A and B are shown apart, each in its own frame.
Chain A
Amino acid sequence: MDSININEASSKELLGYFQAKLDEEAWEAKKAGKPVCWSASVAPPEFCVAMDIALVYPETHAAGAGARKASMDLLEVADKKGYNIDICSYARTNLGYMELLKQEAMNGEKPELLKTTKAAYVPLPDIVITCNNICNTLLKWYENIAKELNIPCIIIDVPFNHSMPVARHCKEYIADQFRVAIKQLEEFTGRAFDYDKFTKVQEQTQRTVYWWNKIAAYAYRKPSPLNGFDLFNYMALIVCARSRDYGEITFHRFCDELEAKDKAGKYAFGDASTEKHRVTWEGIAVWTFLGATFKGLKAQGSVMTGSCYPGMWSLVYTPGDFESMAEAYTKVYINTCGSNRYEEFYKVVSNSKSDGMVMHLNRSCKLMGLLNNEGGEYVNKKMGIPFVSFDGDQTDPRVFSEAQYLNRVQALSEMMDAQA
C-alpha cells in the first residue's frame, strides 16, 4: 500500500490509509503464522491488542461490502448454506464471505466470486471474540463461525440491563469474564498476559473515544460544520482501531478540520442558509443506499446532526478498573431498559438541536427496530418534534425502497416546516 505523510494528510486520507493498513496488518500476521481474531464491533479489543493479536471486524467488513454494492452476491452464498433470509444481513454477508475463504483454504484456489467481489480481502480467523451488548444475534453468529472453523470462541456476555443503573452483580459477572478471557488468550497463545501493556492499551482506547465523542459534538453546533453522515464513514476506525492510535490520529485531525470549517463559516452543506432542518437518524445506516439516503435528506435541506448509533462506541471507563470497563461495555443504550434507552435517545435529539427524527426500521436488527416508535413517542412528548419511520436494511439491498424513503423524509420536512 502507498504510504502517506501522517502529519499532513487530511482526515479522509488518514481514514482510507488506516483502514487499508489494518487489513494489511491482518494479512501480515496470517502470513507470519500469528493469530488473527474476528471480533464483534463493540466487543472489547483491549485484550487482543495487548496480546498483539490482529483484529478483523466482520460487521465493518459487511458494511463495506454493502456500501460497495457487493453484499448481494455474498448473501446468496449464505442462502445456499441454509441461512434464512430473515437473519441479520451483516451475519449473512459475513458467513457467505467466510464460505468463500474456506473454499479457498481447502482447495488452494480462490473461488471465482472471491476473485471478483469488491468486498475487502481479509484472512480467516484463528479465534473469535464476541459480545452481546448490541444484540444476541452476535452470540449465534459467532457460535457458527467457531463451530464451522473449529476455533476457540471468547464470549463477553453483557446481560441485558432490565433496570438501571447497572447492577453490581452484572458488573462483577462481566469483570469475571474479562479474567476468563485473559486465561483463554494465555492458553491460546501460550504467552503470559502483559498487564502493563494492557493498561496502556486501555489508556489509548480512552484517548480515541475522547476524540470520537468530540467529533459528534461538532454536530451540536448550530449551524453544524459536521455532516452527520460522515460519522458513518469514520465509524470504521472507532470500531476497528479504538485501541490503537490510528483512530485517535484520524479523529483529532477531523476535529481540527471541523473547527477550521466552523471558523470559516462553512457548514455541512455549504453556507449557513443551506441548513434548513436538523434531524436525528435512529438506527444503522442503509449501507447499500448510503448515497441515496444522504441525498434524500440533503434535498430537503435536512442535516443529520444526531444519531445514537455512533455513540455506542462512547466507551468511557477508568483504565485499570475492570468493573468500570465492564460498565462501559454493558451500558450501550440498546442493552438497557426502555426508560434509560429512550432518555439516552432524547439526550442525542436534544443535544443535536434536532427538529425531527428519521427512524430506520431495519429488517436485520430487531433490537434497533422494535422499540423505535416508543423512542420516537418519548421524544415527541418531551420536545414536540415529529418523526417518520422507513423500512430498510443495513446490507440486504432488497428491503429498502427509495421511493418510500423519499416520501417519508419529504413528509418529515413538511411537518418540520409546519412547526417552524
Chain B
Amino acid sequence: MSTIFELISQFKAIADDPKKAMDDFKKETGKGAVGIMPVYCPEEIVHAAGYLPIGMWGAQGKQISKARTLLPPFACSIMQSVMELQLEGAYDELDAVIFSVPCDTLKCMSQKWKGSAPQIVFTHPQNRKHAQTAANVFCRAEYAHIKEELEDILGVKITKKALQNSIAIYNENRAACREFSDLVAANPGLIKLRDRHAVIKARWFMPKEKHTAMLKELNEAIKAADKAPFNGKKVVVSGITLEPYDVLDIFEENGFAIVWDDLAQEGRNFRQDVEYDEDPLMALAKAWNAFDGCSLATDADKPKGGMLIDALKKYDADAVIVCMMKFCDPEEFDYPILLLQFEEAGVKHIQVEIDQESTSFEQLRTRIQTFAEVL
C-alpha cells in the first residue's frame, strides 16, 4: 500500500497540472476532453460519452492583462483568469466547453467565449421548490440539449446504459469524497489543508473512477494512521473556492483544521448523490432540484445558514469561516442572512475575502491571526 505522502503527491501533481492530466488521458484512451465551466454541470453526460470532463476554475495568482479589455474589474477573479486563459489559447485543445449560467456574470461570459472549441450553453431552472415538476421537466430538456450537442460535436452516441453507469461511478466517487472529508475531520492535523484541497480538486481533472480508486486507497491509509497531535481549532468553511494555496497555508499556520466545507469547487459537488430514476437525464434533473444550500440555487427558505450550523454541531467545530469570493454577488447576498442566523445561534464566525489573483496576503494573515486569538 502506498503511503499517505505518496498518494497525496500523486493527487497534487494532477491538481497542479490539468494539462498533463488531459494529455495523459488522451494518450491512454485516444479520446479528448470537454471543458466544464463552473458551476454544477451534469458532468456525467460527458463521462458517458467517454470523454474527460475537465474543470475550468481559472488559475491561482495569474496576472491578468489581455482580459482587462474584455471584462470590467467588477467581474470575479475566476472569470478574469478564465478569460485570460481563453485569450492565451489554453483551452484550445478541448473538444468542447460547457457553460452553465446561474449568475449574471456567467450569462455574459457564455456570450463572449474566445476559445476555439465549440461551446454548449445550458440554463438551470431556478423555481425549484414551488414549481418542482415543471422545473424538473425543463431541466431534463436542458440536459438533453447538452447530450445532443455533445453527440453532434464529438460524433458519439451517449446511451441510456452508459449514462446510468456514469451516474453510478459519480455517486461512488461522491461517497469516497465524503468519507475522505470525514476521515480528515476525525484526525485533524494529519492532512495539511493544502493537501486536502489538492485531493479534492484533482477530481476535476481525472476520470472519476480513477479518482475514486486512488481516494479509497488514501482513505484506507488515513484510517490506518495514528492520531496526529492537534491543538488548534476546527472550522467549517463556506464559499465558492478556497484558493490560492497561500490562504490555506495561513489557516494552517494559525492552527485551523477544516472539518467540513461548503465550497462550490469542493463539497457542494459531492454532499448528495444522484438518486436513481429510470430516466437518467431526469435523475440528474431531480438532483439539481434537491440540491440545497448554494447561493446559485434559488431557495427563498435560505437553508444554507442552518446547514452550516448543523455541520458545526456534527463536527464539533469552533467557528465558521465565510470565504467570500470578491465580486460574487450571489454569495454576497447570502452573507447578511448568515450573519443574522449565526448571531441568533451564537456561532463564532469571520468573513475573509477570496481573490484568485491575489499575491499579497498580509492583511488576511493579520485578520486570521486575530480571529484565532479570539477563539
Contacts and interface: CB of A to CB of B under 8 A. Distances in A.
A176 B300 contact: no
B104 A137 contact: yes
B240 interface: no
A48 B336 CA distance: 29
Contacts of A180: 127, 130-131, 134
Given A143-B298, A177-B134, A84 B332 contact: yes
B122 A177 contact: no
B300 A87 contact: no
B112 A374 contact: yes
B333 to A, nearest CB: 4
Contacts of B101: 160, 162
A137 B329 contact: yes
Interface bracket on B: 35 or more
B360 interface: no
A350 B324 CA distance: 43
Interface stretch (A18-26, A150-158, A257-265, A406-414): A150-158
A196 to B, nearest CB: 25
A370 B108 contact: yes
Contact of A169 (B126, B138, B298, B327): B138
A95 B332 CA distance: 13
Interface in B112-143: 112, 121-127, 130-131, 133-135, 137-138, 141-142
Interface stretch (A239-247, A290-298, A306-314, A360-368): A360-368
Interface residues of A, number: 53
A83 B340 CA distance: 12
A216 B79 CA distance: 37
Nearest to A374: B112
A114 interface: no
Contact of B74 (A163, A167, A366, A373): A366
A299 interface: no
Nearest to A335: B107
Contacts of B330: 136, 140
Interface in B51-110: 70-72, 74-75, 101-105, 107-110
A380 to B, nearest CB: 16
Nearest to B127: A157
Contact of A177 (B105, B127, B299, B332): B127
A135 interface: yes
Contacts of A155: 126-127, 130-131, 298, 300
Contact of B302 (A143, A173, A184, A341): A143
A160 B330 CA distance: 16
Q: Kindly name the residue among A81, A143, A146, A341 whose own CB sees the greatest number of chain B CB atoms within 10 A.
A: A143
Contacts of B333: 83, 87, 91, 137, 140-141, 143-144
B212 interface: no
A337 interface: yes
Interface string A76-89: 00000111101110
Nearest to B324: A84
B352 interface: no
B40 interface: no
A369 interface: yes
Contacts of A159: 123-126, 138, 142
A369 B75 CA distance: 10
B111 A341 contact: yes
Given A82-B336, A83-B332, A169 B302 contact: no
Contacts of A172: 134, 137-138
A371 interface: yes
B105 A173 contact: no
A157 B218 CA distance: 43
A388 interface: no
24 contacts: A81-B339, A82-B339, A88-B329, A95-B336, A136-B107, A140-B295, A141-B333, A142-B300, A143-B333, A155-B127, A155-B131, A157-B125, A159-B142, A162-B121, A169-B138, A169-B142, A172-B138, A176-B131, A180-B127, A337-B121, A366-B75, A366-B329, A370-B105, A373-B70
Interface of A: 81-84, 86-88, 91, 95, 132, 135-137, 139-144, 146-148, 153-157, 159-160, 162-163, 167, 169-170, 172-173, 176-177, 180, 184, 337-338, 341, 361, 363, 365-367, 369-371, 373-374
Interface of B: 70-72, 74-75, 101-105, 107-112, 121-127, 130-131, 133-135, 137-138, 141-142, 295, 298-302, 324, 326-327, 329-330, 332-337, 339-340
